[in-house]
Structure 1
């Protein structure tokens, strides 16, 4: 049966399995949804072709490799002409883990991971070339 988003309920079940653990084999998922591994593989490829599955990710612990400072940065650009240059800067920065253009307070929200306060300060100094910022440091992740 097709949902309002154009995929079948079985596709949603397969997607749920992948969201839970993307490293599962198609055979393992097939056992959970009562299909063959080959049929699951075909449905996964269809979900990829539709753009529903855009890739897979790995859960990892950045602190284990020295990225111990986790900051959330609200960016206030200095002018309307700064967007393109800022987006290029943020997109090419290894320290920026995630970036969102937002409405409300600020122009962008960034999630930044660095190895030290000194490295964060250096990153923020570069950021001043595009506008101002507000920083909040993570003191613990809940989920």
Structure 2
């Protein structure tokens, strides 16, 4: 742990993880600081790289993107990594990619609206190697 981060910083971080839209003044009431002091601590956490950015929680099903799958990719050979990484960079339906150890080379989380769109993605993967797919049935928090 970085010595410049104290318990108050960690409490501020936890509050912002739960709701990043809370004002510095509002957070300050919970941690007994002024809004200005909270703002300075938030900037410090950003400068240290602890806070990397902010995001929005959204409902993909409302946009017709309710089909989610996890795809383990087994590349044909070791020289396919660069081409595969270039491929995944072009795909909006690939939400998240992890290079993994153990069984497989990459684990991807993909989101589509239909099984046909998912099938098209899987077909596009075949030049790079084989895959194993698991459909997500329900998301737990």
How far apart are the structure 2 equivalents of 1:92 and 1:41? Answer: 37
Aligned to 1:83: 81
Deviations 1:85-108 (A, max 9, x none): 111211231001111111011011
User: Matches of residues 43-82 of structure 1 in structure 2 within 5 Å?
Assistant: 43-82=41-80
How far apart are the structure 1 equivalents of 2:57 and 2:17? Answer: 12
- 1:35 alignment partner, one of 33, 36, 48: 33
- 1:105 alignment partner, one of 86, 103, 106: 103
Aligned to 1:135: 133
Q: Give secondary structure in 2 for the equivalent of 1:139.
A: coil
Deviations 1:61-111 (A, max 9, x none): 100000011000001011111111111211231001111111011011000
Residue range with higher mean Cα deviation, 70-79 or 89-98: 89-98
Unaligned runs of 5+ in 2: none
TM-score by length of 1: 0.94
RMSD over equivalenced CA pairs, Å: 0.9
Q: How many residues align?
A: 140
Q: Give secondary structure in 1 for the equivalent of 2:40.
A: helix
User: Matches of residues 19-30 of structure 1 in structure 2 within 5 Å?
Assistant: 19-30=17-28
Q: Give secondary structure in 1 for the equivalent of 2:139.
A: coil
Deviations 1:49-69 (A, max 9, x none): 111111111111100000011
Q: Give secondary structure in 2 for the equivalent of 1:98.
A: strand
